[in-house]
Amino acid sequence: MRDGTFLHFRSAGASLALDCTGSGLPRVVHWGEDLGELSPATLAAVVRAGRPQIATNNVDVVVPLAVLPEHSAGWQGTPGLTGHRAGADFSTAFAVTSIEQHGQAVEVTAEDVGAGLELRLEIELTDAGLVRQRATVTNQAEADAAPFALSGVLLTLPVPERATELLDMTGRHLRERSPQRHVFTIGTHLRENRRGRTGTDAVTVHVAGEPGFGFRSGEVWGLHVAWSGNHRSLAERTINGVGLLGGGELLLAGEVVLGAGESYVSPWVYGSYGRTGLDELAGRFHGHLRARPGHPRSPRPVTLNVWEAVYFDHDLGKLTRLADLAAGIGTERFVLDDGWFRGRRDDHAGLGDWYVDETVWPDGLNPLVDHVRGLGMEFGLWVEPEMVNPNSDLAREHPEWILATGDRMPPESRHQQVLDLGHPEAYAYILERLDAIVSEYALTYLKWDHNRDLVEAGHSPTGRAGVRAQTLAVYRLLDELRSRHPRLEIESCSSGGGRIDLEILERTDRVWTSDCIDALERQQIQRWTGLLLPPELLGCHVGAHAAHTTGRVHTLGFRAGTALFGHFGMEWDLTQATEEDLAALTGWIERYKDLRPLLHGGTVVTGDHPDPALWVRGVVAPDRSRAVYTLAQVATSVQSPPGRVALPGLDPAAEYRVSPLAPGDEVRGPASDRLAWWTDGGVTLPGRVLGSIGVRAPSQHPERLVLLSVERV
């Protein structure tokens, strides 16, 4: 298929229309609400109807916004491809040579003969209504020509003039994915990540929308860069009225130099649209992930991770006691965290020496593994394969395996450096060690940590920048390990939530959402991580009464109810729990197991409640026959008693019974002072009423929550 082509893809209430006429790169005619069936003639008319006048003192042609914008076409915003060949060929002018459509996807090939470059674009609308695109750049110059030094590839999607507000994320260790909003003004709002991993301060999803958009209202467009290394994301509006979202990998100087015949493949860049707010935008990401062949299908097991129970003090008696208590309350997976390998008595030493420490485990891990499995639980293990302590046998024997510039070491972080997995021997060593450990103990789960940013990450001895090579090597390592051990599940943990993106999720089965399991902090962290990931991929654990990272004290109900809306587990020294604690925790685990199919297969909904102190969140079954909601009092309210809360996402025409759900049914005050519908065991109302008028919320103390069960009658 070639000249004169308009393409229109439709899926799940979204449309993507492309103008592929002429020799220039494809232009997006429309990305957003489903336009219905449109003929090529109608699409051509849409283009004509939107053709702007030529502005004074500008180029004398209409400047198109291609999916990869080019200065040669008159575009004066951020260019789509940057690089040079010994100072020349800095501005490309690609001409399309072929267009191949495959269902809801198109592959466009173009050449810049003068620059000696070929560009291949892959653009797709997924079944969930996500747009995704990536680019491959190939150096086609003769062998004796100078190589092409590529410095960046940026893929874009347009957003309309009415999208005048931006939302993105920032954060830090222990407070990831903190939202920030601002006006989408003329200029470029650029977010660059140079941490060598996705980052605790990653933008996650860059959203443009109508002013005041919320979870259930306002039209929104969002972009995500699926890459686990350095990346950039931008929102740009020009003086000519063009608005766009764009993203791609952030390449360090000299990181990609293409010799004759060599290619660079960009990350996938995803776009998600919501006609009625952020829930719809998030739902497309969730639907896409759930449709993957490798998405976790088995029930997400209740997990006990023992880090906050024992830290580095590995004592078989204490650990077997923990396992006994865990099994007794319904735990299904037991994970031994940091401290099991040679020399690892604190965080100053041992990383890289991936052998079981004989001084702590004279019989290996078998006594604990056998005990755990004898109780009917899976056994998992913590590793941090990409890091190395300078105080380790590995670092002393192979200092050349550390990422460095060649003449100095980067500053340490957490007493560690980064192992250069782009070095073939270092890669082979780590693969052999992980393979051996997984094989020896028949592991079904690895908690894969990554506890520092990459600083001055260069390959020794040349010192050439190595973040891209490191990222690709990690992908190869994960792929190879999973190939050898198909039953192995892997958690992406990176100082908590520092490596959360759609490309690492192609190789892992859940993320550790944050090292902070303070339930109040987790309410926000989990809410905004959910903009990208569904609940079953979010590691959400119940901690001790006093939070390890903040010192806050919360009730068990608030801690467990917060963890319920994810992949549930515990991070708690159960030997210090009271009998009452254990009995209550057993009840929460039983409730999680009952709700697990709903929580991990339903549609996530978030209420735009006017009181910022009361957060409404729920999961509705795909057929809308059942739902569960949490009403979380995250602060004191100005108003008392609380007002009504709407329960979004239900079938307007159906009747539903709404009732308190134990064990999350405890509220403030004696029973005689409680709401009538609460003490009567529920109320029956149409879905239309529940979604608009709602029900009166019960009074709660701050930092408490209640659960509501909703069943169609």
604-712, superfamily in CATH? Answer: Golgi alpha-mannosidase II (2.60.40.1180)
Q: Which residues are catalytic?
A: 449, 515
DSSP assignment letter at 229: S
Residue 517 falls in which region: left (phi positive, over 0), alpha (psi -120 to 50) or beta:
alpha
**pLDDT class of 671 with cuts at 50, 70, 90:** low
The mean pLDDT of 68-85, rounded to a whole number, is: 97
Average pLDDT over residues 8-28: 97
3 has pLDDT over 50: no
We find that the CATH architecture of domain 63-92+103-290 is Distorted Sandwich (2.70)
Residue 78 has pLDDT above 80, yes or no: yes
The amino acid occupying position 420 is: D
Strand pairing partners for 263? 138
- Burial of residue 271 (CB within 10 Å: 0-12, 13-18, 19+) is buried
Please report, in angstroms and rounded to a whole number, the separation of the first and last CA atoms in the chain: 53
Q: What's the chain's average pLDDT?
A: 97
Q: How confident is the model over 310-329, as pLDDT tens digits?
A: 999 999 999 999 999 999 99
Query: Which residue spans of the chain are classified as CATH 3.20.20.70?
Result: 303-385+420-447+485-600
Kindly tell me if the per-residue pLDDT of 333 is higher than 80: yes
CATH of domain 303-385+420-447+485-600: 3.20.20.70
Q: From residue 525, give the alpha-carbon distance in Å to each of 5, 233, 499, 516, 520.
A: 45, 21, 14, 9, 9
At 28 the pLDDT is 98
Q: Which of 644, 628, 627, 646 is nearest to 691 (CA)?
A: 646
pLDDT for 670 equals 73
CA angle, corner 339, sides to 336 and 345, nearest 5? 155
Main-chain dihedrals φ then ψ at residue 253, nearest 5 degrees:
-55, 125
Query: What's the rounded Cα separation, in Å, for the pair 19 and 25?
Result: 9
Report which of residues 4 and 673 the model is more confident about: 673
CB 228 within 8 A of CB 248: no
Give a three-class secondary structure readout of 658-678. Answer: EEECCCCCCCCCCHHHCCHHH
Digit-coded pLDDT (tens) for 517-540: 999 999 999 999 999 999 999 999
Flag whether pLDDT at 111 surpasses 80: yes
The pLDDT of residue 462 is above 90: no
Name residue, tokens 């997976």: 333
The residue assigned the tokens 């410095």 is 151
Q: Which residue has the higher pLDDT, 254 or 406?
A: 254
Give the pLDDT band of residue 672 (cuts 50, 70, 90): low
pLDDT band at 96 (very low <50, low <70, confident <90, very high): very high
**% of the chain surpassing 90 pLDDT:** 96
Q: Which long-range contacts (CB under 8 A, 24 or more apart) does 88-96 make?
A: 89/114, 89/115, 89/116, 89/117, 89/148, 92/117, 92/119, 94/24, 94/25, 94/68, 94/70, 94/119, 95/23, 95/24, 96/2, 96/20, 96/22, 96/23, 96/24, 96/25, 96/26
pLDDT tens per residue across span 463-488:
899 999 999 999 999 999 999 999 99
Kindly list the distances between the CA atom of residue 71 and the CA atoms of 82, 116, 197, 487, in Å, as whole numbers in the listed order.
10, 17, 31, 49
Question: For residue 243, what are the β-bridge partners?
Answer: 159, 237
* CATH 2.60.40.1180 domain position(s) in the chain: 604-712
For residue 641, say if its preceding peptide bond is cis, omega within 30 degrees of 0. Answer: yes
**pTM of the full predicted structure?**
0.98
The CATH 2.70.98.60 domain(s) of the chain lie at 63-92+103-290
Q: Confirm if 137 and 263 have CB atoms less than 8 A apart.
A: yes
DSSP codes of every residue in 431-467: HHHHHHHHHHTT-SEEEE---S---S-EETTTTEE-H
State how far the Cα of 223 lies from the Cα of 270, in Å rounded to an integer.
Answer: 6
Alpha helices in 152-221 (DSSP H): none
Pairing of strands 378-383, 333-336: parallel
- Whether the per-residue pLDDT at 4 is higher than 90: the answer is no
pLDDT of amino acid 606: 98
Which whole number is the average pLDDT over 254-264? 98
Please indicate whether residue 680 or residue 191 has the higher confidence score (pLDDT): 191
Return the axis-axis angle of helices 467-484 and 424-440, rounded to nearest 10°: 30
- Range of lowest pLDDT (124-128, 230-234, 405-409): 405-409
Q: Which whole-number Å values give the CA distances from 83 to 153, 258, 269, 290, in the listed order?
A: 9, 10, 20, 38
Distance (Å) of CA 11 to CA 17, 26, 32, 131, 132: 12, 20, 11, 10, 13
Residues 526 and 520: their CA atoms lie apart, in Å, by 10
Q: What confidence category does residue 1 fall into, taking pLDDT thresholds of 50, 70 and 90?
A: very low
For the stretch 196-205, pLDDT in tens is 999 999 999 9
* Rounded distance between C-alpha atoms, residue 660 and residue 683, angstroms: 10
Tokens standing for residue 658: 């709404």
